Structure 1
C-alpha cells in the first residue's frame, strides 16, 4: 500500500480553490497513515460561507485552521475523513 504521491490523485470539490499548500498537506498525511489511501478529495466549505479549502471552525467552532479531506482506497471506496493541518497532521 503506497501513499499518495501524485497531485493528480488529489481532487477538490471546487477545483478553482486548488492550492499547492493543500496538495502538500494531503499528500503528507497519506504518508503517515498505514491504510490504503490511494486518492483524496478536499471538501471545500459551502459557497455561502466562502467555499474555502483552508478554514477554521465547522462542527467544532474552536477547531484550528485545517482542510477537510476524504481519503479513498485504490477502488474508490471511502476509508476515512480527516481534518488536516498545514503540516499534514490530523487535527
Structure 2
C-alpha cells in the first residue's frame, strides 16, 4: 500500500478496508501510532482484514476516490496564526 499526499491511517483504513476500525490493525502491523504523520510515497504493510465493507471499498475504487484528510501547509498557517487581525490575509 503506497501512501498518497496528505493521507492518514484513517484515510487508508476507510478506502482500503471500508471501515475505520481497520486503522488499529493497520497501525499495529506497521509499528505506528494512530496519529503518526505519513509521507507521500511511503510503503505500508497491507494487513489482511476480513471484517470490512467490500461495498465501500468498491465505491472508492470505482469512483477513483483517494481520501486525503491530512493538513496542508496552508492549513497549518491558518492554525498557527495567533494574530486575529491578520486572519483575512490568509484567504487572499
**Higher normalized contact order (CA 8 Å, seq sep 6+, divided by chain length):** 2
TM range, smaller chain:
under 0.3
More strand per residue: 1 or 2? 1
Q: Give TM-score, length-normalised by structure 1.
A: 0.27
Structure having the higher helix fraction is 2
Q: Which has the larger radius of gyration?
A: 2
Q: Normalised by the size of structure 2, how large is the TM-score? A: 0.27
